Structure 1
Amino acid sequence: MTTSSKPWLKPAVAAVVLAAGGFAAYTSLNSAPVAPAVTFIDIKGERITPEQLRGKVVMVNFWATSCTTCVAEMPEMVDTYNRYKGKGLEFVAVAMKYDPPNYVVNFAETRQLPFKVALDVTGEAAKAYGDVSMTPTTFVIDKDGKILKRYVGKPEFPALHKLLEKALQG
């Protein structure tokens, strides 16, 4: 049997192929990427593992002490963490590779940062998160380990809070 004896066959096959391709594109656009399985080392030398963060909503904030926007947003990051930590929010502030560790420790201590502060001395964490080079860059990760949002620059905090509230309920 040839397609000439069934003139509807080619358009039907084309429609199925297009529908399948469209569905694949739709699902790939609507499925959030999974956060990389990175183990962070905090300023006390302790490991922060993906297993410790699993099942929690997590904010990972790449920043530097030399970044004026990072320093300016930090009080709002502290307020956000304090507002949601009791509901299951975890927060890891990751200092960039070029940030001198003693500056990071001094900043964290003098400002009494209440969340985990990590050093990315090799740059591997920034690389794993998509070659982060702009600071601040903040990721919001849901309880399933999927990246809900990536903020480059200072987030709009009311919108961030709505996103966190929704993620923490889920």
Structure 2
Amino acid sequence: MQAQVENTAGKRLWIKVAGAAAVVALALAGYLSMANTHAAPDVTFTNIKGEQVSLKSLRGKVVMVNFWATSCTTCVAEMPQMVQTYNMYKDKGLDYVAVAMSYDPPNYVMNFVQTRSLPFQVALDTQSKLADSFGDVKLTPTTFVIDKQGNIIKRYVGAPKFEELHALLDKALAAA
């Protein structure tokens, strides 16, 4: 009986040690993934007015790059919140580029921009060069948040949780 109790206690101790090690490993992985930013690609957007804007020229600002399509129901549904987010943060140093996917007809994009009075820059990616440069983006919406130094700090696939996005923007905009 005594041996059985000691054996059970030893198993419990082992489970606790293994559990603690797993928690430490997950915490370390989470920390490393948060600290693991990488430089945004050196791309130039051509907006629907024909103007060219390089991502490098936006350094010093926090930038959101949103890949979307007029045929994407999630993209269309999230766009009012993206406009609201942009309007909340533009005076604090946020810039925003909405990149229409290559399969999106330019006239559909132009109509969408005009009928919804999108306040930020909209670019066409007619040859998928921008999507390829950002890691071969295929799914829409995909949104990148880029810090003031030009590093990607977050990639959202699908609609972001806007409360989380706003907290991230607050932090990134407050950073030196």
Deviations, residues 37-94 of structure 1 (Å, cap 9, x unaligned): 1101000111011232111100000000000000000000000000000000000000
CA apart distance, 1:31: 2.9
Residue 118 of structure 2 corresponds to residue 113 of structure 1: yes
Distance 2:32 2:105 in 1: 39
Deviations, residues 108-149 of structure 1 (Å, cap 9, x unaligned): 011000000000011000000000000000000000011110
Residue 25 of structure 2 corresponds to residue 37 of structure 1: no
Residue 84 of structure 2 corresponds to residue 79 of structure 1: yes
Distance 2:30 2:84 in 1: 36
Question: Aligned in 2, Cα 1:26/1:73: closer, same or farther, shift over 3 Å?
Answer: closer
Identity of aligned residues (%): 65
Distance 2:144 2:80 in 1: 17
Distance 1:26 1:163 in 2: 16
Three-state SS of the structure 1 residue aligned to 2:143 is: strand
Amino acid at match of 2:163: P
Residue 25 of structure 2 corresponds to residue 49 of structure 1: no
Between 38-47 and 50-59, report the one with greater CA deviation.
50-59
Amino acid at match of 1:61: N
Residue 101 of structure 2 corresponds to residue 89 of structure 1: no
Amino acid at match of 1:51: K
Q: May I ask how many residue pairs the two structures share in their alignment?
A: 146
Please tell me the root mean square deviation across aligned C-alpha atoms, in Å: 1.6
Structure 2: segments with no counterpart, 5+ residues: 1-28
- The answer as to whether partners of 2:70 and 2:104 remain within 8 angstroms in 1 is yes
Residue 69 of structure 2 corresponds to residue 64 of structure 1: yes
Give me the TM-score of the superposition, normalised by structure 1: 0.83
Structure 1: segments with no counterpart, 5+ residues: 1-24
Tell me the equivalent position of 2:8: none
Give me the TM-score of the superposition, normalised by structure 2: 0.80
